[in-house]
Amino acid sequence: MEADKKIKESDRNLFIAHSEEITKAYERAVREAVTKHKKAGNSIVVSRDGKVVILRPDEIEVG
């Protein structure tokens, strides 16, 4: 069971080898989620200067 919790070295290397693609996919997913919230009229929660801030849909900037 303990062995299941450890990430094999070969798996780590895959993350490193594909880090650019992973980062692009992550950024795209976040952008799509924020866009959907804005279009639906839903607020989002972000962190600014270490504080929790709720942005109304009209305050959301999609970049």
pLDDT by 10-residue block (mean), the chain, 63 residues:
65 84 96 96 96 97 86
Within a domain: residue 39?
Answer: yes
pTM of the predicted structure, to 2 decimals: 0.70
Residue 58 is predicted with a pLDDT of 95
Domain count, the chain: 1
Range of the domain at 24: 7-59
Asked whether residue 42 is domain-assigned, the answer is yes
Does residue 44 lie in a domain region? yes
62, 34 in Cβ contact below 8 A?
Answer: yes
| Per-residue model confidence (pLDDT) at position 30 | 95
Please check whether residue 2 lies inside any domain of the structure.
Answer: no
Secondary structure tally for the chain: helices H, strands E: 3, 2
Structure tokens at 57: 């849909």
Is residue 1 in some structural domain?
no
Residue 48 lies in a domain: yes
At residue 15, the pLDDT reads: 82
pLDDT at 3: 57
Q: Using an 8 Å Cβ cutoff, are 31 and 21 in contact? A: no
